[in-house]
């Protein structure tokens, strides 16, 4: 079975251990959600999986479709098919969205092959239309001066253009009003497919009303402490994270 498989993963930053033997498997074709309180290590997990150089992995393995990705460079992991939608997308002045996505697509092609401009723009425009993005955006510098909602839409646009095998959405709902949330969720739902695994990281259950997960995991203190179906998210929302704390203590 093809999956994104995380086994006993431990990772630290500046000698502080954040992930503690975390295990999780997201099979191709499924949507999983991770919920957890602030500081439980959700964002760290997404960065470690994406190969952020600041984190030190002290234990465990990560396989993407049976291929080990730990220790690989971030760009290599990305080209193998892992996409991370950032909680805080970084501003890159001077680099237009159109040029950036094109360069990212080109980086996936064999040396010497190039992207056909007409087809590229056709595909870009249709995806922007679906996300309710003005076409003027293509020439705007990446995330530079974007509102929170614009940044998140731009992440989903990149995700749909790059067609990754596995997507991690890190707090994609933060900073979105209800209309933007609907559009962004629609964009993610369009990407649901038998060929793709999606991991949604969120603090609130709200997002999961729009992106309905197959499996919900609860993360606490660097590991997964509960897993269940979507009703777990609702239970968590009603009872609060303290409920989990008490459950664990018990």
Partner 1 sequence: MIQPNEFDIDTEKGNFHFDTNYAFNAGVGLNEEVVRYISDVKQEEKWILDFRLKAYQTFLKKPVPTHWATEDLNNIDFDVIRYYLAKGQQPSRSWEDVPEDIKNTFERLGIPEQERKFLAGVEAQFDSEAAYSRMKDDLEKEGVLFVGSTEGLSDYPEIFKKWFGKVIPTSDNKFSALNSAVFSGGSFIYIPPGVKLTQPLQAYFRINAENFGQFERTLIIADEGAEVTYMEGCTAPKFETSTLHSAVVELVALKGAKIQYVTVQNWSNNVFNLVTKRAIAEEEAEVRWIDCNIGSRLTMKYPGVILRGRKARGEVLSIALANDGQHQDTGAKMIHAAEETSSNIIAKSISIGKGRSSYRGLVKMPKHLKNCKNNTECDALLINSDSQTDTYPAISVQGDGNSVQHEATVSKVSAEQIFYMKQRGLSEPEAMSLCVNGFVNDLIREFPMEYSVELKRLIDLEMEGSVG
Give dist(CA 52, CA 93) in Å, integer: 22
Nearer to partner 1, 61 or 96 (CB): 96
Residues that bind partner 1 (CB under 8 A): 50-53, 73-75, 78-79, 83-84, 86, 89-96, 99-101, 103-104, 106-108, 114, 141, 158, 162
Minimum CB distance to partner 1, residue 97 (Å): 11
If the CB atoms of residues 91 and 246 are measured against partner 1, the closer one turns out to be 91
CB of 50 to partner 1, least distance (A): 5
Q: For residue 95, give the DSSP letter.
A: -
Minimum distance of partner 1 from residue 105's CB (angstroms) = 8
Looking up tokens 């997960």 gives 213
202 SS3 class: strand
Nearest-approach distance from CB 103 to partner 1, in angstroms: 6
Question: Among residues 43, 31, 36, which one has the least CA distance to residue 203?
Answer: 36
133 and 186 Cβ atoms separated by less than 8 Å: no
Report the distance separating Cα 201 and Cα 181, nearest Å.
15
Identity of the residue, 3 or 158, whose beta carbon is nearer to partner 1 in the bound complex: 158
Residue 118, SS3? Answer: helix
Whichever of 158 and 185 has its CB closer to partner 1, that residue is 158
């Amino acid at each position: 079975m093809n999956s994104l498989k995380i086994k006993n993963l431990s990772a630290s930053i500046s000698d502080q251990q954040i992930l503690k033997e975390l295990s999780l498997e997201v099979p191709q074709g499924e949507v999983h959600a991770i919920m957890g309180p602030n500081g439980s290590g959700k964002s760290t997990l997404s960065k470690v999986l994406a190969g952020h150089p600041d984190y030190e992995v002290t234990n465990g393995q990560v396989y993407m479709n049976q291929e080990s990705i730990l220790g690989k460079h971030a760009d290599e992991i990305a080209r193998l098919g892992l996409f991370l939608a950032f909680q805080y997308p970084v501003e890159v002045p001077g680099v237009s969205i159109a040029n950036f996505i094109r360069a990212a697509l080109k980086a996936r092609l064999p040396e010497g092959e190039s992207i056909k401009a007409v087809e590229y723009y056709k595909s870009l425009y249709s995806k922007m239309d679906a996300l309710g993005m003005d076409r003027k955006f293509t020439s705007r510098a990446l995330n530079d001066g974007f509102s929170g909602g614009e940044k998140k839409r731009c992440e989903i646009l990149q995700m749909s253009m790059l067609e990754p095998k596995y997507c991690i959405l890190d707090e994609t709902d933060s900073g979105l009003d209800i209309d933007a949330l609907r559009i962004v969720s629609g964009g993610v739902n369009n990407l649901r497919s038998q060929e793709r695994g999606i991991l949604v990281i969120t603090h609130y259950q709200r997002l999961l009303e729009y992106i309905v997960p197959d499996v919900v995991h609860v993360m606490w203190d660097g590991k997964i402490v509960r897993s269940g179906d979507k009703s777990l998210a609702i239970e968590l929302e009603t009872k609060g994270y303290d409920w989990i704390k008490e459950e664990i203590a018990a």
